[in-house]
A = this chain, B = another copy of it.
Amino acid sequence: MKIGILGGGQLGGMLIRHAIDFGLRISVMDKDANAPCARYTSSFTLGSPTSYEDVLNFGKGLDVITIEMEAVNIDALRELEKQGVKVFPRPDTIAVIQDKYTQKQFLLSHNIPVVPGVAVDNKNDLLKLENKLPGCLKKRRDGYDGYGVMVLKTAADIEKAFDAPSVLEELVDIKNEIAVIVGRNEQGEVKCYDPVMMVFSEEKFVLEFQEAPAQIDEAIRNEAFALAEKIADALQLVGILAVEMFITRDGKLIVNELAPRPHNSGHHTIEASTTSQYEQLLRAILGLPLGDTSLRFPSLMMNILETEALSIDRQGKFHRLLEVPGAHLHWYGKKGIRLGRKVGHITITDNTIEGTLAKADTIRKILN
């Protein structure tokens, strides 16, 4: 089986990690010759996942094509599907999700609660929506890791707003943010991973850590599963989908955003779950039975962002970090140094949640 991945970042790298388990041949296309994946395949293509020509050429001769990013050329994927290449997730699924407003409308049409929001075409449109502030402005397309998201508190903030098609969302009074990863195969089998709790630092939109299992009520947990499964079915998903949800102060669950691909809210599944999200994706797109999603022990995931301290003493910090038992380093090996960039993550495992939190404290001190 020849499998292609559009996008060659760390998510693709972790997917290759698990493709090795099944002896699969993986081809990768990315617009950066130094993408993390490029060194882990004999079949790397330099090209843009958003280019019709590039995607079409890349896909010819593959058995299955999948994604590790949403910003891909849907028309080319539809054409490849016509030519007999399996495209999972389906082009229609990606198309719905890659535009944050279309995504919201789709969910609403299936009676899924979402964060209320209105579409704007440009900065000028925002001027007519002063009465909707404060709000959260998100670019309709291509946002990731906090890029393409900003809070507009007052009309004065509109000046520095994105001048691009965006969604202005209500600021929801959030108690917690959780995420569920759901897998679904062509036969319609569906399986969810336990919700993870996302804990953000005071500077908004920067994830401090993620905990699994999320410490939430059983009722909310079951509702989160039901929502994730309903969305997977509605999307006719083949693959995996991250469903980010808010738990409001009054205990309601509403969907924040979807990602139809491996997602950082599933990083911990490599070490802490019976089947990793990456293996689950491979199982789903190859028509294999979905794997057991049980969480084996508590885990905590922290991103590593490039800092000056880290760039100066990387070896020393890694050395001390790797002395912590159950600290699993994932270093993405990105080229060059750009402060603030996500360059790795650490999954911490322990027999207790308290144990993971204590180790996280130790590691935070080492990294800073």
Q: Which residues of A contact B (CB under 8 A)?
A: 13-14, 16-17, 20-26, 36, 38-44, 274, 283, 288-289, 291-292, 294, 296-297, 318-319, 322-323, 325-326, 328-334, 344, 349
Pull 9 A–B residue pairs with CB atoms less than 8 Å apart, ordered by A.
A16-B20, A23-B332, A24-B333, A25-B39, A40-B40, A41-B41, A274-B325, A288-B319, A289-B323
Q: How many copies does the complex hold?
A: 2
The answer to whether B288 and A23 touch across the interface, beta carbons within 8 angstroms, is no
Q: Which residues of B contact A297 (CB under 8 A)?
A: 296
Q: A21-B329, A291-B325 are in contact. List 9 more A-B contacts (CB 8 A).
A: A14-B20, A17-B17, A17-B21, A22-B333, A23-B36, A38-B42, A39-B41, A39-B42, A40-B41
Q: Is the CB of A331 within 8 A of B21?
A: yes
B289 touches A319 (CB 8 A): yes
**How far is it, in angstroms, between the C-alpha of A63 and the C-alpha of B292 when the chains are bound?**
40
Residues in B with CB closer than 8 Å to A291 are 322, 325
> Cβ of A22 and Cβ of B326 under 8 Å apart?
no
Which residue of chain B has its CB nearest to the CB of A291?
B322
Q: Are A40 and B23 in contact (CB under 8 A)?
A: no
Task: Give Cα distance in the complex from A42 to B22, angstroms.
Answer: 19
Are A26 and B39 interface neighbours, CB within 8 A? yes
